[in-house]
Structure 1
């Protein structure tokens, strides 16, 4: 079973979310699905405990997660399908940047779709400079579109 997003119960507190970004590496990640996600299924606490003990792969949820900054508490929002103009969308989860506009405010991204590359465009309607995120790729946007992003398209890879 592939696992990407995991929920774990932290002693004496609420559930915490972890995303495995590589063997033995974890970073803060989306703890809940937003209205643009294909799936809202989350792993159980038992699955999370097993994953914490060793490397694991998670279920692909078909979203690209866009983040306001590189901070560990950065606001984020998941998207699927294509978005011709980010105007009107805001970061709905996280802390740093919560409520800020998505348009022209994305610093980094993570593609959690196993079959599609996500293309983040400089202009509306998929025009201008583009930065492509392949399945599983998580990084800061290229300088040509970092904090200058206006639309999102997908390219099927198979």
Structure 2
């Protein structure tokens, strides 16, 4: 498994501008044609749900918060991810139940967007990536 650097989208960035249609209102993540190498983690299934994007793995979401959107803004990412969208065309994103990539895992293939599986939904602690080509 190859590792990737961790980064998060912050409000006001070029990527955030693509996702925001108004003050505090988030729309759907970019279309598959706009690959940006991120996975978008969402607080809920609501269209204005808070989200946070990662382009690399993290062993513990403990200090991360949702930094864009309305519903869930400022809440911790750890144990609060309801759905995700993998906007990387070459890497699968693995969302883990425990810190340090342990326990149950839910894998998102490139371009996949859906609610997390039961057992990991709202019980998530870390993120890793697997190269799939």
TM bracket (short chain)? 0.7 to 0.9
Instruction: Say which one has the larger Rg.
Output: 1
Q: How does 1:61-140 map to 2 (within 5 A)?
A: 61-140=36-115
Let me know the Cα RMSD of the aligned residues: 2.4
Judge conservation of contact 1:30–1:76 (CA < 8 Å) in 2.
no
How far 1:151 moved relative to its partner?
A: 0.2
Judge conservation of contact 2:32–2:111 (CA < 8 Å) in 1.
no
TM-score, normalised relative to structure 1: 0.67
Once residues 103 and 92 of structure 2 are traced to their aligned partners in structure 1, the CA distance between those partners, rounded to angstroms, is 17
Once residues 79 and 99 of structure 1 are traced to their aligned partners in structure 2, the CA distance between those partners, rounded to angstroms, is 16
1:16 aligns with 2:15: no
Once residues 105 and 140 of structure 1 are traced to their aligned partners in structure 2, the CA distance between those partners, rounded to angstroms, is 12
Residues 144, 89 of structure 1: alpha-carbon distance in 2 compared, 3 angstrom cutoff = same
Partner of 1:38: none
Residues 89, 7 of structure 1: alpha-carbon distance in 2 compared, 3 angstrom cutoff = closer
Residues 60, 104 of structure 1: alpha-carbon distance in 2 compared, 3 angstrom cutoff = same
**Which fold has the larger relative contact order, with Cα–Cα distance below 8 Å and residues 6 or more apart in sequence?**
2
Structure 2 alignment gaps of length 5 or more: 1-15
SS of 2:100's equivalent in the other structure is coil
How far 1:58 moved relative to its partner?
A: 2.1
Once residues 127 and 99 of structure 1 are traced to their aligned partners in structure 2, the CA distance between those partners, rounded to angstroms, is 26
Structure 1 alignment gaps of length 5 or more: 9-14, 18-26, 32-55
Partner of 1:149: 124
